[in-house]
Structure formats: C-alpha cells, structure tokens
Amino acid sequence: MTELRDRPALASTGREGRAARAVPPAVALAIVLTGQIMAVLDTNIVNVAVPAMHATLGASGAGLQLIVAGYTIAYAVLLVTGARLGDILGHRRVYLAGVALFTLASLGCGLAPSTGALVALRFLQGAGAAVMIPQVLSLIQRSYTAPGPRARAMSLYATVISGGAVLGQVLGGVLVSADLFGSSWRPVFLVNVPIGLLVLAAGRLLPAGRFDGIRTLDLPGLAVLTPVVLAFVLPLVLGQPLGWPAWGWVLLVASVAGFALLGVVEHRVGARGGQPILPRSLLGLPGMVAGLAGLFASLAVFGGWLFGLALELQDGLGDSPLRAGLTFVPCGVAFALVSLNWRRLPARYHGNLPMAGFVVNGIGLLWAGLLLRDGGTGGVWLYVALAVAGGGMAGAFGALMGRVLSRVPVASAADASGVVVTVNQLGIVVGIAAFGSLYLNLAGRLPAGAVAARPGGFAVSSGHAYLAVSVALSALALTGAALALAHHRIATAAAASAAPAAPLASTASPAPR
C-alpha cells in the first residue's frame, strides 16, 4: 500500500489559511508536544505527592484513590469524543479549549481546600486532557504527510510520552521535597499553570485543521462506548485498592459484552451512511488491528513496569521519592536517544525494529528483576538494565507507532488519533492494574526489607515479588514482538500487492483545510 507523499495538508483560506501557511511544522510540533508533556506529567507526578496529601488534607484511602484515579478515568472515557470534536470544530480550537480547561483545573487543584474539591477538579483535569491530547496526533498527521518527516515527528511524540513519565517521577519528588513556602504537594499541580498559559499564547500560530466536508458526532457509538470504557477502566483503577469487590468483576464482564455491542452499533451506523467513531475503513487497513494490539502491549508493559518498580523502590527498598525518581533517569535517557536516532539505521532494518525492540525491552526488564530479587539495590548494573529496557521500549513503541500511523489517510487522522491514544491509555491502565496487583498481592505494601507471610506457610520478599512481575512483563513483551511481526508481514504483503495507481492518499475525503 502506497504511503502518503508530501503535499500541503493544511491549506485553507482567509486569515486562518495565512496563519497555517506561515507556521513551520516544527513550530506547531513544539506547541502541541508541550501540551502533551503537561498531560503525561500529570499522570505520574501526583503519585509521589499522595503521602503529603494524606497528611495535609486528612484524605481517606478512598479519597486518595479517587485523587489519583479520577484523572485517568475521565481521560480514558472521553478521548474518542475529544478526537471527533477536533474534526468538527477545528483541531486548533479544540486543542486550545482543552489546554484552557486543563490549566484552569490545575490551578484549582493547587488551591483545593478539601479532598472533595480536589477529586472533582482531578476529573475536570482529565476531561481537559481528553479534549487536548487527541488533537496532538491529528495535527502531527496533518502537518507531516511524507513518511520520513512524519516518522521523525512520531519519534519525538514517543519520546515525550516516555520522558514525561520519567520526568513526572523526578519532578514530583523534587517539588514535594522542596516544600516551597510550606506549600507541600500543591506545586505538583501549580507547575502546569505557567506552561498552560505559554501554550495558550503560542497556540494562535497553530493551523486550524478543519475539514471542508461535514463531520458529525456518532451519538449512538458514543452512547455505547462511553459507559463501556468507564465499566472497563473503573474496576481496573480502583479494584486492587478496594480488594476487588464483586461490582468490579460485574463491570468487567459487562464491558466485554459492551464492546461486542459497540461493534454491532458501529456497523449499523456505517451501513446507514453515518460516520462511526470506529470506522471500518480505519480498522480494515492491512495490519491495523495487529499494530494496535502491539501498541497496547507496549504501553501495558510500560505502565506495569513504571508502577511496579516505583512500588519496589519506595515500599520495598525504602527509597525516598526523589531517589526513586532519579532511578528512572537512565531509562528515560536511553528511550530518548533511541527514539530520536533509530531512523539513522539503514532502511532495510526499520521493519524489524519493533520486534527487536520488544525482545530487548523484555531482556532489560528481566535483568532488572533478577538484580533486585534478593532485596539488594542492584548497584550500577540496575541503571544499565533499565537503560537497556528503555532503549528497547523506544524501538518497539516509537517505530511501531510510526508504521501504524504512516498508512492512515489524512481524512481519518482524527479518528486514528482517538483510537490510538485510547488504546495507549487503556494499555497503561491495564498494565498498572494487572502488574501492580500482582506485585501487591505477592508482597503487600511493605516497609523496606520486609517479608510478607502468605497463606500456606511460605513467605515472599518484595524483591521476589518484583521478579515475578518482571517475568510477566517480559512475557508480555514477547507477545508484543509477535504482534509487531504480524503487523509487519500483513502490511508488507498489502503494500506489495497494491496497485501503484491507487495511492492511499486518494482515499482521503473530504480534503482538509
């Protein structure tokens, strides 16, 4: 299948058109990625501040869980809706509306007087992120239509996701430890305010990114998808802290049935000439389903590793939040270096890079687990193992993301953004829930060096609990390698058999402006 070639994807008319033509794609990329890193930071930075929130607000366990989870729940549930709104109202307008809502909610979170207010504002933050983040990929898709520049932009996007997660751990530890002016945890939210204002000021330079044709909300699809995603995410986020209550299992079973119902509803919407949020034209692209499954696996590994190692470092080894955060730095550096440079490899290796990345990632994760299994710190070799894991993750996620999106028609950019970002977010949620639960069920929340007595008379140290997590993460990474291989073979076979006279870009209708 022929990939998109260079062409002015954001041509328009009038004042918006002049702004779109005047702005270099690199400037637009910098603006949207700044918003992206705010949202990624907020997913991770709050975890470090939970003990301080408990001390100053007197928040209950359930309240603390909702402070952390409320953002993720609203974010995951509303992502697909946010993507479609960008196509209807214009990606710049919706992106800036999301930034404004996120910034305002961050200010409110930093000034929140009570647990209830903070929980409500965290949900509002998540809604702002859900409106803002899908526009990032849409604007990248529309600004970079040639395969090479688009892949480089995707590499930066992947670097921001991983780097922001690592930076969140470090920055959270720094801000909470500094206790600026006696503000305790509040700067972890207030740090978003100046960044958000800067993005809003620069955002007028972004292209509008609207369609000349008519785009509508798929109300039947949204009516099914929204509660289904909520039913899926809610028990995964709150299940382990609440002891996996019966209602959580009921919701998970209902979500499986709901996803099946969604397929039926979307088929009927498309058959009636509507615009389904999960169009068959997108999911039917060669290798798309396998590619999305591979992305899901990569982010599930990433989310499970990030959460599991943070628990082991702080609860198992007794590290401070700052020291634990700094442990992730080698991984973040390696991820950034590989993400920004993998395209320098000869082109004949690019197709196999996702598979190799998954394998290397699994080796690094297993190595780290073996180093920590007996309660030791791992020394310098732990940093080496984490760098190996981070480099492998970059090769897997960044290269696979670029290959999946390089074959998406420009007209489907918004739908693809919503689907890909939702898959990524659900992957992180599932990884945290599954591997976090595995660790906590084996080791519990332990003080440094503790050993938990388990039913049946045996004992599990936190180090051995983390080793079990590492083995499971490595197995999932190998599954991701198999999915990436399937995507590569299907897409390559389709490209070889495609007629040269029918490039993929010709399916894009209506034309963007």
Claim to verify: residue 285 and residue 189 sit in the same structural domain: no
Residue 116: is its pLDDT beyond 70?
A: yes
| Residue in this structure with the two tokens 């382990």, named with its chain if needed | 240
Under 8 Å between Cβ of 205 and 31: yes
The residue ranking higher by pLDDT, 259 or 281, is: 259
Claim to verify: residue 174 and residue 285 sit in the same structural domain: no
Claim to verify: residue 184 and residue 320 sit in the same structural domain: no
Show which of 153, 175, 202 is a domain's final residue. 202
Q: Is residue 92 part of a domain?
A: yes
Closest listed residue to residue 87, CA positions, set 206, 210, 213:
210
Q: What distance in Å separates the CA atoms of residue 233 and residue 430, rounded to the nearest whole number?
A: 8
Greatest mean pLDDT range, 192-201, 236-245, 336-345? 192-201
Residue 371: is its pLDDT beyond 70?
A: yes
Claim to verify: residue 354 and residue 456 sit in the same structural domain: yes
Question: If you ran DSSP here, which 8-state letter would residue 429 be given?
Answer: H
344-360 pLDDT, tens digit each: 888 788 888 999 999 99
**CATH number of 156's domain:** 1.20.1250.20
What's the alpha-carbon Rg for the chain, to the nearest Å? 22
Q: What distance in Å separates the CA atoms of residue 69 and residue 77, rounded to the nearest whole number?
A: 12
Q: Which amino acid is at 231?
A: A
Residue 335: is its pLDDT beyond 70?
A: yes
DSSP string, 260-271: HHHHHHHHHHHH
Q: What's the half-sphere exposure (Cβ side, CA atoms, 13 Å) at 297?
A: 28
Residue 238: is its pLDDT beyond 80?
A: no
Q: Looking at residues 259-276, what average pLDDT do you find?
A: 84
Claim to verify: residue 152 and residue 63 sit in the same structural domain: yes
Q: How many residues in total does the chain contain?
A: 513
Q: Exposed (0-12), middle (13-18) or buried (19+): which is 502, by Cβ within 10 Å?
A: exposed
∠18-23-29 over CA atoms, to 5°? 140
CB neighbour list of residue 282: distance below 8 Å, 6 or more residues apart? 288, 408, 412, 415, 416, 419
**CATH number of 348's domain:** 1.20.1250
What is the rounded average pLDDT for all residues in the chain?
Answer: 79
Under 8 Å between Cβ of 106 and 196: yes
Distances, alpha carbon 501 to alpha carbons 110, 242, 452, in Å: 57, 58, 65
Question: How far, rounded to the nearest angstrom, does the alpha carbon of residue 237 sit from its chain's CA centroid?
Answer: 15
Residue 3: is its pLDDT beyond 50?
A: no
Quote the pTM value. 0.76
Q: Is residue 239 part of a domain?
A: no
Closest listed residue to residue 91, CA positions, set 43, 5, 40, 31:
31
Show which of 144, 178, 202 is a domain's final residue. 202
The residue ranking higher by pLDDT, 477 or 21, is: 477
Q: What distance in Å separates the CA atoms of residue 310 and residue 307, rounded to the nearest whole number?
A: 5
Q: Is the peptide bond before 8 cis (omega within 30 degrees of 0)?
A: no
Claim to verify: residue 187 and residue 284 sit in the same structural domain: no
431-458 pLDDT, tens digit each: 877 887 788 778 765 444 444 444 443 4
Q: What distance in Å separates the CA atoms of residue 18 and residue 174, rounded to the nearest whole number?
A: 43
Claim to verify: residue 193 and residue 296 sit in the same structural domain: no
Claim to verify: residue 312 and residue 451 sit in the same structural domain: yes
Closest listed residue to residue 417, CA positions, set 409, 205, 201:
409
- What is the total count of domains within the chain? 2
Q: What distance in Å separates the CA atoms of residue 219 and residue 511, rounded to the nearest whole number?
A: 24
Give the least confident one: 40-49, 286-295, 406-415, 419-428. 406-415
Q: Is residue 221 part of a domain?
A: no
Q: What distance in Å separates the CA atoms of residue 19 and residue 206, rounded to the nearest whole number?
A: 7
Residue 13: is its pLDDT beyond 70?
A: no
Residue 303 in 3-state DSSP? helix
Q: Is residue 60 part of a domain?
A: yes
Beta strands in 320-458 (DSSP E): 451-453
Claim to verify: residue 339 and residue 423 sit in the same structural domain: yes
Give the least confident one: 144-158, 359-373, 392-406, 495-509. 495-509
Claim to verify: residue 152 and residue 282 sit in the same structural domain: no
Q: What distance in Å separates the CA atoms of residue 364 and residue 300, rounded to the nearest whole number?
A: 16
Q: Looking at residues 282-294, what average pLDDT do you find?
A: 85
How much of the chain, in percent, has pLDDT values that exceed 90? 22
Closest listed residue to residue 37, CA positions, set 99, 104, 112:
99
Q: Which amino acid is at 159?
A: T
Q: Is residue 133 part of a domain?
A: yes
Q: Looking at residues 172-200, what average pLDDT do you find?
A: 84
Residue 221: is its pLDDT beyond 60?
A: yes
User: How many CB atoms within 10 Å of residue 377?
Assistant: 13
pLDDT at 410: 65
Claim to verify: residue 192 and residue 76 sit in the same structural domain: yes
389-404 pLDDT, tens digit each: 999 998 898 888 878 8
pLDDT band at 91 (very low <50, low <70, confident <90, very high): confident
Under 8 Å between Cβ of 255 and 121: no
Question: Which tokens hold the place of 243?
Answer: 């002891």
Quote the longest CA-to-CA distance of the chain: 75
pLDDT at 513: 39
| Beta bridge partners of residue 460, listed in sequence order | 452
> Quick one: three-class SS letters along 66-116?
HHHHHHHHHHHHHHHHHHHHHHHHCHHHHHHHHHHHHHHHHHHHHHCCCHH
Q: Is residue 267 part of a domain?
A: no
Q: Is residue 105 part of a domain?
A: yes
Claim to verify: residue 310 and residue 418 sit in the same structural domain: yes
Q: Looking at residues 54-67, what average pLDDT do you find?
A: 75
pLDDT band at 482 (very low <50, low <70, confident <90, very high): very high
DSSP string, 238-267: HTTTTT--HHHHHHHHHHHHHHHHHHHHHH
Phi and psi (nearest 5°) for 481? -60, -40
Q: Which amino acid is at 224?
A: V
pLDDT at 247: 92
Domain holding 45, by residue range, is 10-202
Torsion, CA 113, CA 119, CA 123, CA 129, rounded to 10: 60
Residue 142: is its pLDDT beyond 70?
A: yes
Residue 10: is its pLDDT beyond 80?
A: no
Q: Is residue 218 part of a domain?
A: no
The residue ranking higher by pLDDT, 165 or 75, is: 75
| Residue in this structure with the two tokens 């709901």, named with its chain if needed | 258
Show which of 202, 225, 246 is a domain's final residue. 202
Residue 483: is its pLDDT beyond 90?
A: yes
Closest listed residue to residue 258, CA positions, set 285, 286, 282, 226:
226
